[in-house]
Each structure stands twice: as structure tokens, then as C-alpha cells.
Structure 1
Amino acid sequence: MATKHKRATMTARQLAEDYLAHQITRDVTRTSTRHHLNQLLTLFGGWQARRVGAAQMQEFLTVQRGRGVMATTAHHRVRLWRTVLAWAVETGRLPASPLAGFRLHRPRARRIDPPTRADAARMYKMAAPHIRRVIVLGMAAGPRIGPSELFRLAWADVDLAAGYMRMPNAAKGAKDDSRIVPIRDDILPLLREWREEDEKRA
């Protein structure tokens, strides 16, 4: 339990690191959370945590907007800090949250259209070999592009003879840990080529 003196002098960065060490167990989640919090801590990391409240969040949002950061992303970073503060109060690290009662207005969602086949073809032509795999599988199989789905896919999940792959599901409430995705006929030759390349490297 933090002493009264430590509660008064703990910096925002110290509190954030304390939260990451005690509350986040997965490395990938810790890395992502630290990245987002660091955008805010660049401005206020040296401040006493108990003083990084509503006025500072408004200033941070203004800075983020000036840098062209999407409102949804900037708001996510503010909500992370609010979560850190709530945890600090629960664990006795702070007597009260400086963001108590602070409300964020819901930003207008921005719809981002997926690339067209022509767009994907142009990207594929210029991309490095490992990025070409991401482009093809992203367009053909519809996975989340990242460690939760596509980057977990292994050759053991791909049945080229039967023409399907077992795509890992992200931990987002799905009942099953994977789903069956048919492999399009037009990418089967490419997948066979990639598998042969990987087998030669093994």
C-alpha cells in the first residue's frame, strides 16, 4: 500500500508503469497499452498523477487533433488514463481520481472503405514478399490483420487438398477458437508456392 507521501508525489508515468506491471498480463496488450499511454505521458508524464485531470485531457485532445490523430484513437488514450486512475483509487495509490465526473463526447465514427481489387493489386506489386502474404490473405480470407488472427495462422491450419483453412478467432467473445474459411481457387497455386518456400527454409 502506498504511503500518503508517495500518493501525493507519484508521477503520472510512475503510476502508469505500476498499472502496466500489476494489471496487464499479456505482453502484446502491455505493449499496445504502453504505446497509447505514452502519447499522453509525453506531455504529462512528469506531473503528479493526482493533477493530470480534465483540463490536461482537453489539452491532450487538442494536441492530438492538431497532429491528425483520429478522435476515436485520442479518446481511447484518454479512457486508458481514466482506467489507470480508477485502478489507483481502488488500490489506495490515490485518494481520488482527478477525472471523476469527466465525460467524453462520442466522436463521429469514420468509415474506412476496404481497398478495391485494383488497390490491392497495386499494393501487391510494390510490397515486400512477407507483406504480399498479408495482402492476399487479408483480401481473400477476411482475418483481423494482426497477432489476434492472421499472425497466428500456421500451415497446420491450412488444408490445401480440401481447400479450406482454420482461421484463429480473436478473443472478442467468439464461442469457438477458430472458424473454417474456404480457400478461393485463384489463390491455391500461390499458397502451394509459399508452402514449398517455407518447407525449403525449415
Structure 2
Amino acid sequence: MAVKELNDGRWIVYYRVPGKKSKKREYFGRGLEGQRKARQRDKDIGARKKRPSRPSTTPTFTELAKVYLLAKEGSMTDSTRDSTLYKLYGIVDPEIGGIPVGELTQHRVDQFVNKRLRTVKKTTVHRDLTVIQAILRWAVKRKYIAENPIDGYDMPVRDDQVIRPATIAEIKALLTHSPEHLKRVLTICAYTGARPGPVEVFSLKWGDVNWHDKTITVTQQKRAG
């Protein structure tokens, strides 16, 4: 930075701008008034360069996520909570968790999406973004943040596989050739749509069977992703 009087009597301030090779020049007229304005401008530029950057006043995404989970603790099923925790701390947090929400841009989310798409399907990324958007919209509603910085973000088009259910003939063939201990499981899956595995079918108890109404209540649900 420098203040200088030109040969024609005008006062000038010139200084360097980051990323530019040539110096920027600003002119402030002639005489004492021009000199005063030039020196004041020089002082302002110097103060601005020395001023430390202001910390962001918005919470990080991780901070919002923690508050969100606490608020939703009583309304989430165990499986939903486990799935959300896995997505947040295993997938989202390492990428954007430490970013103040006010600095979260759609470009930064693009980077997250493109990285995820190298290893998972679009449907999985769609679910990841659904969790992120749910937290940000909730935070706006609760006035933790003024606006959702990625509102209107274009979600990846889901690419779910179409699963063809087994035919009656295929089900009968499975039951015919299965050992006795598997026939009960296959029968329940075939006629109720419950998924085999520890979350749904294997978690059933006798108390879930209503002999009078001839119904079975699946108390837990597996969520994909």
C-alpha cells in the first residue's frame, strides 16, 4: 500500500489485490481534501488486511445433528435411530460434519455425492441426502439456522432394483425341498412379506401371534441403506 501525489496534483492510493499481478489504483482528487481522503483510504485498507477473519456464527452440521437426535429420541424406533446414526457418523460426518452450516454450499454437497456414487447406488445416496435435508429443515423450523443452504438441491434419481416375487410354484418347490426347521420361516415370509433375518422374522415371539384374529404382528422393520 502507498499514498502518492501525482505530477498533476491528484492523490492516489495503490495496493496489491490477491490473485492480481498489477496493483490496484484509486484516485482521490487534488489538494488537502484529496490528500485527506487518500490517507483515510490507505488506513482503512491496512486495518482490513490486519483484521482477523470472523468465526462463523452458524453451528456445524454435526452440532445440529446431535441436537436433532436428542429432540427425536422419543419418536424414533430403534432400527430408525441405528440407521440414522450410522449414516450421520459413519458417512456424512467425515465429509461435511465439521462445516458451519452457513458455509455449506451446493457445490460442497456435489463433491460428497460424487464421492459416494463411486461406491454405492444412487438410491443409497438419495437416502443419505434425505437424512441431511431432514436435519436442515428441522433446524430452520426450530430457528437454529435462518435458512436451509441446500434447499432445492437436485437429488439423484433413485435406481432401485425391481425384485420379482417368487411364484406359487417356486414357493411350493422351496417348501417341498426344505428341511423342517426352514419350512416355518419360508411359510411366514411367503404369506406375510416379512423379511428373513434377525430384524423381522427371527425377532418374532409367540406374543406377536394373534390366534383369534389369525394375524402376526411384525414389531420391528428392516430399513434398507
Range of TM-score over shorter length: 0.5 to 0.7
Please give the residue correspondences for 1:109-120 in structure 2 after superposition, counting only pairs within 5 Å: 109-113=160-164
- In 2, are the aligned partners of 1:7 and 1:95 still within 8 Å (CA)? no
Residue 104 of structure 2 is aligned with which of 31, 49, 52? 52
Check 1:74–1:133 CA distance in 2 against 1; reply closer, same or farther (3 A cut).
farther
Q: CA deviation at 1:75?
A: 0.7
- In 2, are the aligned partners of 1:148 and 1:171 still within 8 Å (CA)? yes
Residue 64 of structure 1 is aligned with which of 88, 101, 116? 116
- Point out where structure 1 has 5 or more consecutive residues left out of the alignment: 173-202
Count matched residues.
Answer: 159
Partner of residue 87, structure 1: 138
Distance 2:72 2:56 in 1: 18
- TM-score calculated relative to the size of structure 1: 0.60
Aligned partner of 1:11: which letter?
A: T
Q: Percent identity?
A: 24
Check 1:97–1:157 CA distance in 2 against 1; reply closer, same or farther (3 A cut).
closer
CA RMSD, 1 decimal: 3.9
Please give the residue correspondences for 1:39-188 in structure 2 after superposition, counting only pairs within 5 Å: 39-67=91-119, 69-113=120-164, 137-139=188-190, 141-145=192-196, 149-150=200-201, 153-158=204-209, 166-168=215-217
Check 1:85–1:155 CA distance in 2 against 1; reply closer, same or farther (3 A cut).
same
Check 1:70–1:170 CA distance in 2 against 1; reply closer, same or farther (3 A cut).
farther
- In 1, are the aligned partners of 2:210 and 2:216 still within 8 Å (CA)? no
Check 1:72–1:134 CA distance in 2 against 1; reply closer, same or farther (3 A cut).
farther
- Point out where structure 2 has 5 or more consecutive residues left out of the alignment: 1-53
Q: CA deviation at 1:6?
A: 9.8
Structure with higher helix content: 1
Distance 2:184 2:62 in 1: 39
- Does residue 64 of structure 2 align to residue 8 of structure 1? no
Q: Which structure has the larger Rg over C-alpha atoms?
A: 2
Distance 1:90 1:145 in 2: 39
Check 1:9–1:24 CA distance in 2 against 1; reply closer, same or farther (3 A cut).
same
- TM-score calculated relative to the size of structure 2: 0.54
Residue 22 of structure 1 is aligned with which of 44, 68, 71? 71
Aligned partner of 1:17: which letter?
A: K
